[in-house]
Copies of this chain bind each other. A is one copy, B any other.
Amino acid sequence: MLLSKSCIYGLRASLYLASQKSEGYTPIRKMSEDLEISFHFLTKIMQQLTADELLESFKGPNGGVRLKKSGDEITFMDIVMAIDGPALFTECALGLPGCGVEKPCPFHEQWAETRDNIKEMMEGTTINELAIKGKEENLRLTAKGGFEKFLQLE
């Protein structure tokens, strides 16, 4: 699996937030219900993204989380880095320690290229881009439901 479950949930929640029209905070409870993700688990992930300055949170009634900056300025990579960290891009595909420092392994050429592909894709994709596409085409963000389910009445 390329991304951890935590990371996947973080991405889905980020797209959810990017698709919200209002400037207000969205409660994690609501997100967890809409996205069919365990509330407490999602809370922890939101905390990570908040600690990483990608989201901002507010406690108490009318509280919740929201994007800290515009969804155009948050890339797929930002979320992946905040949750899974850089391991995917620094670690050897053969599990050997210290890639690039010591002698490479025979797989390096192929892996470096693949890795760069993944990197470019993630860095070149913003969550807004994905959210807009999701809204326009009513793509799905849970097992069954499309974006329409999450859109606030505008």
Contacts and interface: CB of A to CB of B under 8 A. Distances in A.
Nearest to A4: B1
A73 interface: no
B117 A134 contact: no
A144 B88 CA distance: 21
Interface residues of A, number: 46
Contacts of A121: 110, 113-114
A42 interface: no
A106 B8 contact: no
Contact of A139 (B91, B103, B118): B103
Contact of A104 (B96, B97, B139): B139
Interface string A1-35: 11101001001100100000000000000000000
